[in-house]
Structure 1
Amino acid sequence: MEVNRFYTNHVMMVEPTKFFFNTETACDNEFMHNVEEDNEAIANKAIQEHRDLRAKIEEAGITVTKYEQMADDLPDSLFPNNWFSTHKYPGNIDNRLVCVYPMKAPTRQREVNPKIIEDFTEPESHTIDLTGFCEKGQVLEGTGALIFDPVNLKVYANISQRCEKDVLDHFLEQFNSKCQEPFRSVVFSSCTSSGTPIYHTNVMFSVLSEHIVVCLESIPDEEERKKVVEEITSSELNKYPKKLLEISLEEVNNMCGNIICVLNKDQEPCVIMATTAYNGFKPENLEELKAHYKIIHSDVSTIEKIGGGSARC
């Protein structure tokens, strides 16, 4: 099977204009750290890091569509994947599917940008809008919470304060109504090295074209851990079983799970990551990735420290 056709050569980025520590989201994101530094200085560093990353992505032959933060009081706007995703999988979802998700923090709920939705909606597109769950206090934070394996028709999800199982079930019901072949969920719970629940699945789990990167060490329940391994590796449960690339909790702390696979103009698979991750991977894991993908990395350390998210976000 030609798996590359399930991956995109086009990414969307929202440039931060006023980036600062968001106290609303810090309560359950252990990766965020407040620093004693002027907000303007922090914002300027974040803008430069964002621009440098975008330049490297474009230099690698990947199309980037850029937007800007809608309002000064929306510091997490540079993480649009949490409220918005699009899906178009040849032979399964032939017309683009646009999904809009319910966010936990009020500041993040206000990030929903009608212009982005309009620009990515095609004439035959379908839209799934889950923002009504915000009124009920229910949450499902996009591809921060949900890791799609479109080849094997699965959605991996770490249940947390940012990913509620009943909202996930509702989402999958709507999502599958637009698919020729339905997806199913694989759910589990994971924790950081301090024992705190991991807020987003995408800091410890990533689906690449040939590999699934996962921190099994972060899944405390043995049965759940075994189930995740089986779901990744079993030839009976996958059309195209992928190689499991296991990372440690230390690598998770270095944002090694927060990576994404895209295609360049030559349809070659590339993995975008932060320099923190590039330097944080165990040598054997980095060599495995280099053997199968072109690596694009850039320093986003200010964004990581203040915002708690990395290149995948």
Structure 2
Amino acid sequence: MPQTTNTILMIRPVHFRMNEQTAVNNYFQEELDLKNDEINTKAQEEFDAFVDKLRAVGVNVIVENDIKSLNTPDSIFPNNWVSFHENGDVALYPMFAENRRPERREDIFLRLEEEGFKIENIIDYTGAENEGVFLEGTGSLLLDRINKKAYCAKSARAHEELFIEFCEDFDYAPILFTAFQTVEDKRLPIYHTNVMMCLAEKFAIICLDAIDDKKERKQVVKNLKEDGKAVIAITEAQMHQFAGNMLQVQGHLNQRYLVMSTAAHNSLRPEQIAQIEAFCPILSSSLETIETCGGGSARCMMAEVFLPKA
């Protein structure tokens, strides 16, 4: 059971802008003093440069264009609505923001089949939206595919019962906690687990300061260490530069890379970079507009494809 994949699905934006529906609990989003068309053009430039860098090291990037008529400002973050598993299962997830729900597109599954991948079953959790219950894909779920553990920080976008249901369906052991950030002197839940934590094959990067409950923090560290993962701690300030929002991928000859934004890379201290590079090289790309308006970064932009080949 591999932890990393060589194939990534990415969605090129056509309507990227600050999404007012997600800003209510994504405290990473900020306004830019630009027209929406300018914001989208800058996001497309960042997207294209990022894809080029991934492809240059041998990552198989499948790019689908967003559909203009859907008016989906956050389509650039497909990992929130879908996950692809090596037994051929595809999971579809319930989304907090109503204007994100049209991002779920069946034509993308046809594209993957055209690319030679096999889809066996679609497990659809989207009916939970009717009850106001959400679980936003691998934004909410951090999957240790080797050790069959799922890490999840509870929030308005990660409902405990649905998380447990996912773990039962996919045979993962659930590790649940709450992660906080300081917003105007208040400790408020972080909207997605994957902005404060990254799981690679042999290491984890995590903002332990965000887990206020000592028991929960100990439990998370204990699970990581018993699975032989080195724990690289980042600060809350580094987390706000998206130093938790990283993904390990495979390039040419199964070479692993840790992918992150330039902002995340620049926030790391020399000893943290050395710790990461002891395991694999870093690949970074500037995602400034996407991070500022979207409140998400490199990891959110990549939906990993673990599906078997037909």
Q: TM-score, normalised by structure 2?
A: 0.91
Alignment-derived partner of residue 97 in structure 1:
89
Say yes or no: does 1:54 pair with 2:51. Answer: yes
Identity of aligned residues (%): 34
Q: Deviation per CA, 1:76-98, whole angstroms, max 9, x where unpaired?
A: 0000000011011xxxxxx2221
Q: CA RMSD in A?
A: 1.3
1:128 aligns with 2:123: yes
1:64 paired with 2:65, answer: no
Q: 1:227 to 1:283 in 2, by over 3 A?
A: same
- Residue correspondences, number: 293
In 2: Cα distance, 1:41 partner to 1:8 partner: 33
- Aligned-partner SS, 2:64: strand
User: Which one of the candidate residues 209, 212, 217 is aligned to 2:204?
Assistant: 212
Determine the C-alpha separation between the residues in 1 that align with 2:295 and 2:51.
19
What secondary structure does 1:199 align onto? coil
C-alpha distance in structure 1 between counterparts of 2:119 and 2:91, whole Å: 14
User: Which residue of the other structure, out of 150, 157, 167, is the alignment partner of 1:172?
Assistant: 167
Q: Which amino acid aligns with 1:114?
A: E
The aligned counterpart of 1:306 is 293
* C-alpha displacement of 1:126: 2.0
- Give the 3-state SS of the residue equivalent to 1:117 in structure 2: helix
TM-score normalised to structure 1 length? 0.91
Quick one: which amino acid aligns to residue 250 of structure 1?
A
Give the drift of 1:124: 5.9
The CA distance in 1 between the partners of 2:21 and 2:249, in whole Å, is 31
Deviation at 1:123, TM superposition (A): 4.7
- 66-75 or 136-145, which deviates more: 66-75
* Whole-angstrom distance in 1 between the partners of 2:58 and 2:170: 31
Question: Structure 2 vs 1, CA of residues 10 and 124 (structure 1 numbering), >3 Å: closer, same or farther?
Answer: closer
Conserved 8 A contact 2:3-2:200? no
User: Runs (4+) of structure 1 moved beyond 6 Å?
Assistant: none
Residue aligned with 2:299, SS: coil
Q: Which residue of 1 aligns with 2:273?
A: 286
Q: Conserved in 2, the CA contact under 8 Å of 1:213 and 1:246?
A: yes
Which structure 1 segments of 5+ residues have no match?
Answer: 89-94, 177-182
Of residues 223, 239, 242 in structure 2, which corresponds to 1:255? 242
Structure 2 residues without counterparts, runs of 5 or longer: 301-310
Greater length-normalized contact order (CA 8 Å, ≥ 6 residues apart): 2
Instruction: Work out whether residues 98 and 117 of structure 1, in 8 Å CA contact, stay in contact via their aligned partners in 2.
Output: no
Q: Distance in 2 between matches of 1:116 and 1:293?
A: 31
1:4-43 alignment runs, 5 A limit: 5-43=2-40
2:306 maps to which residue?
none
Equivalent residue number for residue 201 of structure 1: 193
